[in-house]
Amino acid sequence: MNRFPIWDSHIHLNQYPKEKIPYYLEKWENGGVEGIIAVATDLRSSYELLEWKQKYPDFIHIAMGHHPEQELPVEKDLLDLLALIQMESSKIVAIGEVGIIHYRQSELGVNDLNGYIELLKIFTETAKKLNVPIILHAVHDKTEIALQTLLEENMKKAHFHWFKSSKETTKKVIEAGYTVSFTPELTFRERDQMIAKQFPLTQILLETDGPWPLEGNFNGRIPEPIWIRESISTLAKLKKLTEEDIVYVLNQNISHLYLESI
């Protein structure tokens, strides 16, 4: 299967050791990775990804946004980020990573989600104006909140990364025609496998979310896009298709969602 090109649909490239990024990029490309969707988490990382995009324009495709698992941006930073997105719109393929806080909600003392919902609406409007998809961090019970926001805003193209939600909300995401992605934990996590069975293959992508650590067989190792081949093997078994068929559809999905607007 190494002759078939693969994509990592969600990776935090700038969070890898800076001095090792050229090594990793060469390794991944030599390993059959055709490209990556590198996502920002704030204004600073957006600038960093622009620098890497300039050096590797055909391999790195970037998204800009403000990750929800942190405090809301101050007004100046938000305005600067929105201005940067507008100025560099020809270099981005999506708005992201954005969404609704979940894991750090208690830690940051967030009792009212309205600020995060309003920020998501701003990013949704930006994505619509630029005619690019939006990349979402919205897990468990927050998926429903993000989903309803997208539907209210008439957002057509959305990608829920590292998807995990209830059966009821999963059904709604499928009906909305949105895309979801799974990390290599798909290879062993029953929850992910059950969700992947529910979704049509045309609404699925694969990712690493690297360098965020994974569990199971991947524990203690730095995630790399090449691992996605293991996810492809699992997905082929779940969908009762060949690995070649899986790769073909996944690449079509990437092209349709991210590359047609370039």
159 is in an annotated binding site: no
Q: Is 181 left (phi over 0), alpha (psi -120 to 50) or beta?
A: beta
256 is in an annotated binding site: no
Q: What pLDDT score does 120 carry?
A: 98
pLDDT per position as a tens digit, 91-104: 999 999 999 999 99
Angle at 73 (CA atoms; ends 96, 57), nearest 5 degrees: 35
Peptide bond before residue 211 is cis, with ω within 30 degrees of 0? yes
Cα dihedral across residues 149, 151, 157, 160: positive or negative: positive
User: What is the pLDDT of the chain when averaged over all its residues?
Assistant: 97
User: What is the C-alpha separation between 108 and 69, in angstroms, rounded?
Assistant: 9
Q: What pLDDT score does 260 carry?
A: 85
- 6-259 fold: TIM Barrel (3.20.20)
User: What is the C-alpha separation between 81 and 245, in angstroms, rounded?
Assistant: 39
User: Which residue type does 127 have?
Assistant: A
189 pLDDT above the threshold of 90: yes
219 touches 262 (CB < 8 A):
no
pLDDT per position as a tens digit, 243-260: 999 999 999 999 999 998
pLDDT per position as a tens digit, 114-151: 999 999 999 999 999 999 999 999 999 999 999 999 99
User: What is the C-alpha separation between 70 and 55, in angstroms, rounded?
Assistant: 29
67 is in an annotated binding site: no
User: What is the C-alpha separation between 193 and 57, in angstroms, rounded?
Assistant: 34
User: What is the C-alpha separation between 137 and 101, in angstroms, rounded?
Assistant: 8
Q: Where are the domains of the chain?
A: 6-259
137 is in an annotated binding site: yes
User: What is the C-alpha separation between 32 and 202, in angstroms, rounded?
Assistant: 22
Angle at 37 (CA atoms; ends 35, 38), nearest 5 degrees: 115
175 pLDDT above the threshold of 80: yes
* The token pair that represents 87 in the structure block: 């100025």
